[in-house]
Amino acid sequence: NPYILATLLFGLGLGTTITFASSHWLLAWMGLEINTLAIIPLMAQHHHPRAVEATTKYFLTQATAAAMLLFASTTNAWLTGQWDIQQMSHPFPLTLITLALALKIGLAPMHTWLPEVLQGLDLTTGLALSTWQKLAPFALLLQIQNVNPTILVTLGLASTLVGGWGGLNQTQLRKVLAYSSIAHLGWMILILQYSPSLTLLALLTYFVMTFSTFLVFKLNKSTSINALAISWTKAPILTSLTPLVLLSLGGLPPLTGFMPKWLILQELAKQDLAPLATLAALSALLSLYFYLRISYAMTLTMSPNNLTGVTPWRFSSPQLTLPLAIATTATISLL
């Protein structure tokens, strides 16, 4: 029903906006809750057992994270008499809130729900989960000052490594995208303490690239690596561009995805964290392997039973192709 859909989408926007606009922990928590409650019906709209299972898992993790956040902010108010987000000073609530927000966005080692949830969802809802749902917790993470840098660096490094190792073993595209999301978030968290503007840049480029990737898979109606082999007959032009999109996600020059990685490595080196930068760069190689694998499945393998007759790509929906065209162009040539 369009009215119900509009209401839910409005709720989704409202929750994020409240969190953005708040300087009080209680309001921020309310925004996160509204956000979660709005996306849950969207996730369970196809009454499929997988979708319902994914929704339940998502609800439980988000509720846990929100409860932790509320507990931490109350503790902070109790210890320091402060409800203000900017003026957190006590290390205990600070650590607790950082961990709660890490659970919300799915940073390692609190990442295990993300691939499971994403796998049970429709690609459009999955896209919303991978992009829009990251905004509100990120706004809070950016506002918290004086967190212990060791925590953020540990979370970031663990995420890049887990995102790399986890994706190697997957055949389902949505799970691969989930691990890719974990790895990218790791890069953003690594640099959060030293250069918040770089974190935002990385988040923005990640949004553009993920948007493009999800729309490609949606247009192809493919959910596993095997299903990509018949992409040529569905959409030949798009198929020849997709490896560039995927390599941009992997962060290869001269594509857009190279920019945030380059700048992050440079900033880490400036902060005398060369070993950290090296580890992060090496973990990016792991991600690169599975992006290459998908590219290979898409462009260099041909399905034995080739579809004959009318090619379906001529009749693809215009409301999908325009955003896809814009996102793909941005992903490939924004550098």
Secondary structure string (H, E, C) spanning 272-329: CCHHHHHHHHHHHHHHHHHHHHHHHHHHCCCCCCCCCCCCHHHHCCHHHHHHHHHHHH
pLDDT of residue 316: 62
Q: Residue 313 pLDDT more than 70?
A: no
Give the residue among 115, 317, 302 at the shortest CA–CA distance from 218. 317
pLDDT of residue 320: 84
Q: What are phi and psi of 90, to 5 degrees?
A: -75, 130
Q: Residue 208 pLDDT more than 60?
A: yes
Residue 310, in any domain of the structure: yes
Residue 174, in any domain of the structure: yes
Range of the domain at 226: 148-332
pLDDT of residue 308: 54
AA identity, residue 18: I
Residue 32, in any domain of the structure: no
Q: What is the pTM of this model?
A: 0.94
Confidence of residue 62 (pLDDT cuts 50, 70, 90): very high
User: What distance in Å separates the CA atoms of residue 95 and residue 64, rounded to the nearest whole number?
Assistant: 16
The SS3 assignment for 168 reads helix
When divided into structural domains, the chain yields a total of: 1
Question: Which of 241-269 are b and which e, b meaning 16 or more Cβ less than 10 Å from the residue's Cβ?
Answer: bbbbbbbbbbbbeebbbbbbbebbbebbe
Q: Residue 200 pLDDT more than 60?
A: yes
Residue 173, in any domain of the structure: yes
User: What distance in Å separates the CA atoms of residue 262 and residue 272, rounded to the nearest whole number?
Assistant: 16
Confidence of residue 304 (pLDDT cuts 50, 70, 90): low
pLDDT in tens, 242-299: 999 999 999 999 999 999 999 999 999 999 999 999 999 999 999 999 999 999 998 8
Percent residues over pLDDT 90 in the chain: 83
Residue 138, in any domain of the structure: no
Q: Residue 31 pLDDT more than 90?
A: yes
Residue 25, in any domain of the structure: no
User: What distance in Å separates the CA atoms of residue 21 and residue 173, rounded to the nearest whole number?
Assistant: 35
pLDDT of residue 10: 97
Residue 154, in any domain of the structure: yes
Q: How far is CA 6 from CA 2, 9, 38, 325, in A?
A: 6, 5, 11, 25
pLDDT in tens, 72-97: 999 999 999 999 999 899 999 999 99
Q: Residue 315 pLDDT more than 60?
A: no
Least confident interval from 1-10, 36-45, 224-233: 224-233
Q: What is the mean pLDDT of residues 226-230?
A: 86
Residue 35, in any domain of the structure: no
Q: What is the mean pLDDT of residues 138-146?
A: 93
Percent residues over pLDDT 70 in the chain: 96
